[in-house]
Chains A and B, each alone.
Chain A
Amino acid sequence: MSDTLLLILVGIFLPLFPMSMVFNAVIDKTSNTLLRSVIFVAWPLCGVALISNITVTQPIWLLPLVLLTSTLYAVRILTLRDVTQWTGFLATSLWALLWLAVIQETSIEMLYGYALSMSLPLMLLVTLSAGLEQRFGAAYTDLYGGLARTIPRFSGVLVVVIVAAVATPIFPSFFILFDIVVETISTEPAISAVLLLNWILWSWASARLIQGLIVGRASQVKILDMGMLTVGLYTFVLLGLAAGGLYMAGEIL
């Protein structure tokens, strides 16, 4: 396989615009929740696996394209209402930044760790999106609202997962982005600036998502809330992620 072809292939799995469209098309066409969840975890891992085979010097356009892709999708999620699509676009915006770690010559093992820890909260969000579709027929913001009153346990988990997905301390993505800032601030301050700008856009988008889902009056119709066992399961994964984040802070910072 030629290096150019390989680079394009990696650009699909560690999404770079316009190759990023492939991932979002796949997510859009996949209706099975389990398969969607697997795709969310496996997709960037495939990209990392492929990247170790690239021998060619990174082209000059790579860095601007990485920043453009991340920013483009960070801007786009601001007005998205479909939760699954929102998750896919956030994934695109986040995973594109893994290229920065590649450019900084981060080890492959660490890259796997980065990819996995960025993807796990997104995978949880996809499963929660499926939960909303199951209960309301659609996972859309500003459609029903009031989840905090209607299904308080579900909305509690949803909020923490969204917070984890947008690189909030003490979850791993926060430390990964912090590390990228530390690595680039002195040599390429523009990269840090774009990254931090995108960070704000994710926070903005997450607040809009939370507001569009959990805020409002309780539904008049009785909706089944999340079971205690499921809450425990999500809590376990989130605690694991938080512990992983702290461990990662010790390792990379």
Chain B
Amino acid sequence: MERLIITVAVLPLISALFIQLFAGQFGRSIVKVSVAVTTFGFLLSIFTLALALMGDAPAALSLAGDKGIILFDPLGTLLAAIIMGISLIVHLYSVRYMAEEAAYGQFFVLLDLMTAALLFMVVAGDLITLVISWYLVGVLLYFLLGQDTRSQTAYRFAFWTLITYRIGDLPLILAAALLFNAYDTWSLTTIFAEISANPYAHEVLGLPLTEVVAALIGLAAFARSAQFLLHTWLPYTMDGPTPVSALMHAGIVNAGGFLINRFAPVFIHSGDVLNVIFVVGLITAVFGSLLMLTQNDIKKALGYSTMGQMGFMIMECGIGAFSLAIYHMFAHGVFKGTMFLSAGGVINDARHNDGVPKDELYTFAVEKQPNQARQPWLLMAGITLIVPLVILVLAHLLIAEDYFQKQGAVVLLFFGWVTGAQLIFATYRMRSQNIWRLVGLSVLSLVVVVLGYVFISHAFDLFLYPDEAFRAQLYAAASFDLLRFDVLVVVTTLIIVFGWLMTYYSDQNGVRRTQTSRKMWLNFYALISREFYVSDIYTRLSRSILAISGRLNVWLRWL
């Protein structure tokens, strides 16, 4: 089986080499080779995934001792199939979309190399292969984003990506070096087995090695998955070709979640690191969503939307729901990939129909229709708050009765509840002719989504981490102090409930702001519109370093 998985990983490399060598002879039609090879690779990856699903035991193929190990395991096979699937779609899309590009063949070479790097990353069974592929993903993405070599802007923001990725490479290199020094092997399987046998056998700077390594892995994941303060590259890299944006938002940016999953045996013994990961993910989710809502540039809004989703994904890891993060990665990848790839179609449709929403003023003034009567706000607020909660609790009870004993599950429920409530609130604001029909449909779709989410994530759990004790250990490692957790949940719930009630009330009765609150609101808006000044600070910092460099060169001349 491991030979099959290595074939899947090597196929894009062969395709890239073939295109590079024979592009001159065959012209543009040579990209068909790339599409054919990717199709074959995708089918092969599905076959290996099917074998893994049917219960074939994990195996490893070593190319050079404890280096160059290729793993056949549930995580690797699942992600290989996802990567090949997304890559195939991007290949098919690019055949026509990129047809007028001067470096048409070169684009497919880079696309194939990127696919290969991603595949090697997810099936790497040793630290060397993992570090190399992790590093190369950043380098290749830089060149893919800079496909349009006429655009200085594209390269400027591709550089932001490169430098953030390089910053993210360093913690992984450090973690690899520390693990090798401690266990004298590069093999992940051996290292994890030794950690499981004796988790606290080694220390670094007076701290348990597992905690230090987990923190470093977390940092590497933060940079790759655009967590807050390391996120600026994501919303700004929209000058790259659309297929690259799709690949990046659907696949590459998810690598952080993969890395944390790969090192799951380390995170079990990582002290409070998972709690920190949860907080970082939470902050990213909130800031990403906030910034998304306030953008007037739709592409940047999409970028911040991905940032928010990455925050959720990392947060899921932080509460011990590792397999859920993988499912989230897959679901978000499909969703965001579709959005990017259908962008052209949307623009085309917009040329025929402006799609301007018919608001109250429009329907009243243009269509001469009276305003729809509103339902009592308290009733609607009650439905908004209670219905999603009931659906979520019932759906989870179907899976396991002890589900609510896990703190991670409660946190997830919490977010599911807020999302569901938002859905119903959005329905209320639509002021439809038949509000009850719309609410009914919303609730129905929520039921379908929640049931799908709960059952599929449970299936992912069983596939990726079949050992129940291991799953329990992951949740235990992510747990908070019980009293603090309960207080936190109650306080947050009260704040949210109060927020929803206020929202309904003000939506019904209008908002009256005092002078002070208006000023505060404007300051807050200024802060958000400048994206919390993060990119401004980085720009200032990099200019300072360049100024120092220039000054040194003036002082020391050419010596």
A residues engaging B (CB < 8 A)?
18, 20-21, 24-25, 28, 72, 75-80, 85, 146, 148-149, 152, 156, 159, 163, 168-170, 174, 178, 181-182, 185-186, 189, 192, 196, 199-200, 203-204, 207-208, 210-211, 214-217, 249-250, 253
Partner of A24, one of B174, B180, B559: B559
Tell me whether B170 is interfacial, beta carbon within 8 Å. yes
**Given A149-B150, A199-B166: A207 and B142 within 8 A (CB)?**
yes
Tell me which residues across on chain A come within 8 A of B180, comparing CB atoms.
Answer: 182, 253
Tell me which residues across on chain A come within 8 A of B558, comparing CB atoms.
Answer: 24-25, 28, 85
Tell me whether B102 is interfacial, beta carbon within 8 Å. yes
Partner of A216, one of B67, B136, B150, B178: B150
Is A207 a contact of B163 with CB atoms below 8 Å?
Answer: yes
Is A78 a contact of B174 with CB atoms below 8 Å?
Answer: no
Is A76 a contact of B553 with CB atoms below 8 Å?
Answer: yes
**Given A169-B132, A200-B167: A211 and B549 within 8 A (CB)?**
no
Is A149 a contact of B102 with CB atoms below 8 Å?
Answer: yes
The answer for the CA separation of A241 and B150 in the assembled complex, in Å, is 30
CB within 8 Å: A-B pair count: 113
Tell me which residues across on chain B come within 8 A of A210, comparing CB atoms.
Answer: 155
B residues engaging A (CB < 8 A)?
64-65, 67, 102-103, 106, 128, 131-132, 135-136, 139, 142-143, 146, 149-152, 155-156, 159, 162-163, 166-167, 170, 173-174, 177-178, 180-181, 186, 204-205, 545-546, 548-550, 552-553, 556, 558-559
The answer for the CA separation of A189 and B207 in the assembled complex, in Å, is 14
The answer for the CA separation of A21 and B555 in the assembled complex, in Å, is 13
The answer for the CA separation of A146 and B148 in the assembled complex, in Å, is 11
**Given A78-B545, A181-B174: A200 and B139 within 8 A (CB)?**
no
Is A249 a contact of B139 with CB atoms below 8 Å?
Answer: no
Residue of A nearest to B547 (CB): A79
Residue of B nearest to A217 (CB): B150
**Given A168-B139, A199-B166, A216-B150: A192 and B174 within 8 A (CB)?**
yes
**Given A72-B552, A200-B166, A211-B159: A178 and B131 within 8 A (CB)?**
yes
Is A25 a contact of B559 with CB atoms below 8 Å?
Answer: yes
Residue of A nearest to B64 (CB): A250
Tell me which residues across on chain B come within 8 A of A78, comparing CB atoms.
Answer: 545-546, 549
The answer for the CA separation of A213 and B170 in the assembled complex, in Å, is 27
Chain A's nearest CB lies how many Å from the CB of B119?
16
**Given A78-B546, A207-B162: A214 and B149 within 8 A (CB)?**
yes
The answer for the CA separation of A81 and B142 in the assembled complex, in Å, is 21
Is A203 a contact of B149 with CB atoms below 8 Å?
Answer: no
Tell me which residues across on chain B come within 8 A of A169, comparing CB atoms.
Answer: 131-132, 135-136
Known: A18-B559, A207-B159, A216-B150. 17 other contacts (CB 8 A): A75-B545, A76-B556, A77-B549, A78-B549, A79-B546, A79-B549, A80-B553, A149-B102, A152-B103, A168-B135, A174-B132, A182-B181, A185-B177, A200-B167, A215-B151, A217-B150, A250-B64
Chain B's nearest CB lies how many Å from the CB of A216?
7
Residue of A nearest to B182 (CB): A186
Chain B's nearest CB lies how many Å from the CB of A167?
10
- Provide 27 A-B residue pairs closer than 8 Å at the C-beta atoms, listed in order of the A residue: A18-B559, A20-B559, A24-B559, A75-B549, A75-B552, A76-B552, A78-B545, A79-B549, A149-B102, A149-B149, A163-B139, A168-B135, A168-B136, A169-B132, A170-B132, A174-B135, A178-B131, A178-B177, A181-B177, A185-B181, A192-B174, A204-B163, A207-B163, A211-B156, A215-B150, A249-B128, A253-B128
Chain B's nearest CB lies how many Å from the CB of A91?
14
Tell me which residues across on chain B come within 8 A of A211, comparing CB atoms.
Answer: 152, 155-156, 159
Is B186 a contact of A253 with CB atoms below 8 Å?
Answer: yes
Is B67 a contact of A182 with CB atoms below 8 Å?
Answer: no
